[in-house]
A and B are shown apart, each in its own frame.
Chain A
Amino acid sequence: MVHVSLDNHLDQEPAIIGTMIEDVLRGLDDGYTLRVLKEMIRIPSVVGEEKELAHYLRDEVDSMGLKTELHDAQPGRPNVYAKLKGAKKGKRLNFNGHLDTVPVVAGWTRDPFTPEVDGNRIYGLGSNDMKGGIACILTMIKAYAESGHGFRGELSFSGVIDEEALGEGAKAMLKTEYGKVDAIVLAEPYMADEKRPTALGITGKVLYDVHVHGRAAHGFSPGQGVNAVEQAGVILANLQKLRIPMHPQFRGNYCTLKIEGGYTVYSVVVPAHCRFEVNRLMVPGETKESVVRDMEELVESLNLDARVEVKTKPPYYASYVLDRDEPLIRVFDGVYREVMGKAPSYEYSSSITDANTFAGEGGIPCVHLGPFPGGPHQRDEYTLIDSLGPVSRVFTLMADRFLT
């Protein structure tokens, strides 16, 4: 490609002519998208088993002329990263997908690992959640790499493990250089239409793990002991006193998930220990520490005889919210309207994604866009083939507009 400086306009940026965004768009190859999607469906990557898919992506992206890196986020489970640097310094935009799929649930009427095209549908485990989205990212990156179209800054791809479990892949990514990017587009299957609005913010969550310690005694003289189960009962019966802050767009809440305490083999003994777990949906502005303090304050106000330890258990996700005029959102909004011919739909969501980690913990603005989510309850999962192309186009134009 030819780089030419125009010296007569010193206040203008040197432009790269001969390659325009239109060339990149023309380079988007829907046939390629479908091919790599099929190849990825054939590689099982149920959560825990992401390695083979990570290697496939490394090979595929390397063949585009980029240099990929693999970093184990957990033993034997690598994240995969690759970047395309622009000619000048500028912002850094990352396109992200998770490598893992959910396990195969009962009820599939076809082989989850054999991609099957039926009219406009392509079936397979992960077809929309989210190998379809990853295929769109690859299509876009390939078009940029082959066109040589310049941008300022850095365009990168990340594939992370464990989104379907505890989000360890995203947490590990925050510790790398990609933890400092300026924005992330997650290719999750949100079409930003009325049925699947895209999130301007997501609630977070903390799982309280409360240990109540009493004192054993013969169960016929309970006054001589401290009944950990009964004291736990007092806490749970008073959870409505838990402080839940107000937020303009979100409502926090709590939900007890589990309790256990008392004898394992029948014995008339005052239980010395009891444990319970409460899910606490969090709103932007709350932190794990503030939420733990709320529970500790509630417990203290109850003046119990038992000793209570308020701990937390994974998974933990921070909450976040973005303004409509966050630069990433403005770019997304404009590009979406151009490509889709209508305005995107937004919502304030409670569906946890890796954006909770990237935006909530990492402070990186995020937006979700991906192909059609088809297939009830993940059985006979599919996506619509004609939903892939527009996603690739949106990605391409977003990169161009954001990285100016």
Chain B
Amino acid sequence: MLDKVLRRLDDAYTVRLSEEMIGIPSVTGDEEALALYIKEKLESYGMETELEYVEPGRPNVYGVLEGSKPGKRLNYNAHTDTVPAGDDWRTEPFKAVVKDGRMYGRGACDMKTGIACSLNMIRAIADSGAQYKGELSFSGVIDQESTDKGAWRMMKDPRWRSLDGVVLTYSYCGDETKPIPLGLTGKVLYDVKVKGRAAHGFRPHLGVNAVEDAAKIIANLDKLVLKDHPQFGKGTVCTLKTEGGYKVYSVVVPESARFEVNRLLVPGESVEYALADMRRLVDSLGLRSEVEVGVKPPRYEPYIASRDAPLMSTLHGVYKQVMGREPLYEYAYGITNANIFQGEQGIESVHIGPQRGDPHSPNEYVKLEWLPPVSEMYARIALRYLK
């Protein structure tokens, strides 16, 4: 049965779908056309499909193919948006160009080829009539390159919250360029508002300088308590932005200032922990300003995965079989929708996809030699997990 499915995998089909999808620009905010394209494909394979409008004009797309008996429920997930094209492309960013075994275009590795391999796999399984227990589904979510509204909305639905596993078809290829994550850091974006008191700038002692107090907090961020995780080590802290003071020139003690700090969290540090940590730091400084410590989206919980968990061990075995070597793993400093699926919701998630070439940069590409093994791994994972 597996052989029937594998024979039905069509590499030329994958390449064609990749070209077509790169030719449908889907920069964050404009995902609809691509979602409609995917929906049409999934329907043609016999899946029950649905568009879920997260915002006007911005739908998630889902497809479901029931197995012959009840069993586990596995989802292949992708984000439909790309970053903007930017400048300095040698070819047109929204027209796939194949040269020297590489396909160039915005989304070539991040992540329209992951989608194409999934579609290839689903068609092969559907057409071959392969039997499995449980449910095979696909989800294409919006907004991953911004604040993940798509994945958050997906997890609001009890139907998706109860999935057993998610394969994120992102370009994590399991070699030294991008090992498979055995967990991801989380992240919180501190949003700190400092409120002082205005006075004439020539008599600063009569006021409370919000900009200077904000600076004192920023200068003491090294006093946040970063927990040391045995595998991840410590998280990181990075101020991203600050502003405060006059809009039109005026010699006045600034009465308000703001800053944002990105903090990567390691397992054992929750968003609540991070908030309490910053509040404690601020209190310890004894500032005269009033300080409000909040968070701004996006926020993500960290998680750590187990090599022995069902989906991860399936991936391991399949990877060895298809690639002829064991995958490399790491405890990764990065954020994907797995932070939402597994970190928040506890659904076992793995990442596997083609090797990446310059994502987010001009002249993004994918090496086409990766597409066939990735399609095969997707098929083998599905059939083994849903046995």
Contact = CB atoms under 8 A, between A and B. Distances in A.
A236 B215 contact: yes
A97 interface: no
Contact of A255 (B209, B218, B219, B243): B209
Contacts of A254: 204
A388 to B, nearest CB: 29
Given A229-B259, A236-B215, A262-B260, A256 B239 contact: no
Interface in A240-281: 253-263, 266-271, 274, 276-277, 279, 281
A220 B334 contact: yes
A258 B244 contact: yes
A229 B219 CA distance: 9
Most buried by B among A220, A268, A271, A279: A220
A230 B219 CA distance: 6
A261 B240 CA distance: 8
* Size category of the binding interface on chain B: 35 or more
A235 B219 CA distance: 8
Contacts of B252: 257
Interface in B235-274: 236-246, 251-254, 257, 259-260, 262, 264
B254 A227 contact: no
A262 B218 contact: no
Given A237-B219, A256-B215, A279-B201, A220 B246 contact: no
Contact of A236 (B211, B239, B243, B333): B211
A164 to B, nearest CB: 13
A256 B218 contact: no
A143 interface: no
Contacts of B260: 262
A232 interface: yes
B251 A257 contact: yes
A274 B185 CA distance: 28
B218 A233 contact: yes
| Interface of A: prevailing SS | mixed
Interface string A104-143: 0000000000000000000000000000000000000000
A232 B215 contact: yes
Given A254-B204, A277-B245, A350-B202, A271 B239 contact: yes
Given A219-B262, A256-B209, A257-B252, A236 B201 contact: no
A194 B155 CA distance: 72
A43 interface: no
B236 A223 contact: yes
B97 interface: no
Contacts of B333: 220-221
A279 B251 contact: yes
Contacts of B209: 255-256
Interface in A174-188: none
B238 A219 contact: yes
Interface string A347-369: 00010000000000000000000
Interface residues of A, number: 41
Contacts of A101: none
Nearest to A314: B249
Interface in B301-356: 333-335
Contacts of A227: 238-239
A258 B238 contact: no
Contacts of A221: 236, 333
A287 B187 CA distance: 48
A57 to B, nearest CB: 29
A358 to B, nearest CB: 20
Given A203-B202, A230-B218, A277-B245, A256 B211 contact: yes
B257 A259 contact: yes
A235 B216 CA distance: 9
B98 interface: no
A239 interface: yes
Contacts of A205: 202
B164 interface: no
A296 B3 CA distance: 73
B224 interface: no
B212 interface: yes
A398 B257 CA distance: 51
A390 interface: no
A262 B215 contact: no
A221 B215 CA distance: 22
B281 interface: no
Contacts of B253: 255
A87 interface: no
Given A220-B185, A262-B243, A277-B245, 17 more contacts: A203-B202, A220-B334, A220-B335, A229-B218, A229-B239, A233-B217, A236-B211, A237-B220, A253-B205, A254-B204, A255-B251, A256-B212, A259-B242, A259-B245, A262-B239, A269-B240, A281-B202
Top 6 closest pairs, chain A to chain B, by CB? A262-B241, A258-B245, A233-B218, A236-B215, A237-B219, A222-B238
